[in-house]
Amino acid sequence: MEVNETIARMPKAELHLHLEGTITPDTLWAIAQRNHVSLPVGSLAELKALYAFEDFDKFLHLWLAMCRCLRSDADYALMVDAFVDDCRRQNIRYVEAHFTPYNHERFGFGARRALAIVSRRIEAAEREGGPVIRLITDIPSESVPESGPFTVQLLEEEAHPLIVAIGLGGPEEGFPRRLVEEYFARARAAGYPVVAHAGETAGAAHVREAVEHLKARRIQHGVRAAEDPSLLALLAARDICCDVCLTSNTFLTVYRDLATHPLPKMLAAGVPVTLSTDDPPFFGTDLDREYERAHAEVGLPLATLWQLNLNGLRYGLAETPLRRGLMKEFRIAGAELGLEPAGA
């Protein structure tokens, strides 16, 4: 079997993706037209061109314009349903999706209302055979004085069954990770594990801050940790997983060419890693393609890719019986694909 065919048939887990970042230009255009919301472009063709990024500021600009377009329950349902279809197309069985309630509050729809409709569609998908999707509620770094208390209060007040962690998103440059230290401490006290974006557009020091000050269980990206060998050793020693997004990195980080990407260095240092897409349509990718590129351009053998995939269940934050059940399912499928010793 060709490598790409094996990748396509593998049941997959993904831990670093933004639900709002799964909206394709076609869907965004349709939603904006239906809601009479103006976008910073005049046509669908121009919008598609905007989805090619060179820097984080442009990315954030379109991202926020997109959040403003979501105006009705149907818009949120469409976002989730389209994502679920895409998971099924790629045999993605488990996802932890970042979601930013504060932005939906800020733009007038309402965070709780957004969470309610998103949850209903996620639960319907799970009842209908999957995928299993869980949520990480992000504090966006560019608005911490408002979004920090808002997000943590929401977590303290809600007993939301799908939320598995608090996260830190938004830009890195100029926003030290410890900005959210107080809010993350409250979230941990309320029983929520912490994950944080760090070491993507800023350097290794951010990753260290996320580990030492925020007590992050996982790092989103974390690739710049490779600049500091002692930090790689710390990540390995504490078994902190980095959720790496190769194609996203080629758009927004210093690693414009995968031949120079530090993923092999991270693996050699014993850092647990998963592969993810971040915001797939924004970077013209999907999860199958991330695995294909890791094989063809980074040079990872299929056996390594399979272990990175299983890390998505090992380091996922959903309830243990659920992840153990999926692990069993993955191992059976892996055996059929020749990725596991039979009977393992």
* Active site (catalytic) residues: 200
Q: What is the 3-state secondary structure (H, E, C) of 156-206?
A: HHCCCCCEEEEEEECCCCCCCHHHHHHHHHHHHHCCCCEEEEECCCCCHHH
Judged by CB under 5 A, how many residues of this single chain contact Zn ion? 2
Alpha-carbon distance of 344 to 334, in angstroms, equals 10
Residue nearest to Zn ion as judged by C-beta position: 278
- Closer residue to Zn ion in complex, CB, 172/278: 278
- Closer residue to Zn ion in complex, CB, 220/274: 220
Q: Which stretch binds Zn ion (CB under 5 A): 153-161, 228-236, 272-280, 329-337?
A: 272-280
Handedness of CA 292, 296, 299, 301 (dihedral sign): positive
Cis peptide before 131 (omega within 30 of 0): yes
- The SS3 assignment for 93 reads strand
Report the site for Zn ion in 275-294 (rule: CB under 5 A).
278
- Closer residue to Zn ion in complex, CB, 312/334: 312
For residue 18, the minimal CB distance to Zn ion (Å) is 6
For residue 140, the minimal CB distance to Zn ion (Å) is 11
Alpha-carbon distance of 55 to 265, in angstroms, equals 25
Q: Which two tokens stand for residue 145?
A: 């004085």
Q: Which two tokens stand for residue 146?
A: 């408002």
**What is the DSSP secondary structure assignment for residue 315, as one 8-state letter?**
S
- Closer residue to Zn ion in complex, CB, 78/195: 195
For residue 248, the minimal CB distance to Zn ion (Å) is 7
Binding mask 207-226 for Zn ion (x = CB under 5 A): -------------x------
Report how far apart the first and last C-alpha atoms of the chain are (Å, whole number): 21
- Closer residue to Zn ion in complex, CB, 32/198: 198
Q: Are strands 218-221 and 195-198 parallel, antiparallel or unpaired?
A: parallel
- Closer residue to Zn ion in complex, CB, 242/327: 242
Alpha-carbon distance of 162 to 334, in angstroms, equals 27
Give CA torsion, residues 50, 171, 146, 115, to 10 deg: 60
For residue 32, the minimal CB distance to Zn ion (Å) is 23
For residue 136, the minimal CB distance to Zn ion (Å) is 10
Phi, psi of 238 (to 5 degrees): -90, 0
243 binds Zn ion (CB under 5 A): no
* Cβ-based neighbours of 134, under 8 Å, separated by 6 or more: 95, 96, 97, 162, 163, 164, 316, 317, 318
**What is the DSSP secondary structure assignment for residue 278, as one 8-state letter?**
B
- Closer residue to Zn ion in complex, CB, 111/252: 252
Q: Which two tokens stand for residue 104?
A: 């939906």
Q: Report the candidate in 316, 324, 325, 313 with the shortest Cα–Cα distance to residue 165.
A: 316
**Residue that is written with structure tokens 């925020």 in the block:** 214
Binding mask 100-129 for Zn ion (x = CB under 5 A): ------------------------------
For residue 97, the minimal CB distance to Zn ion (Å) is 10
For residue 334, the minimal CB distance to Zn ion (Å) is 27
Contact footprint for Zn ion (CB under 5 A): 220, 278
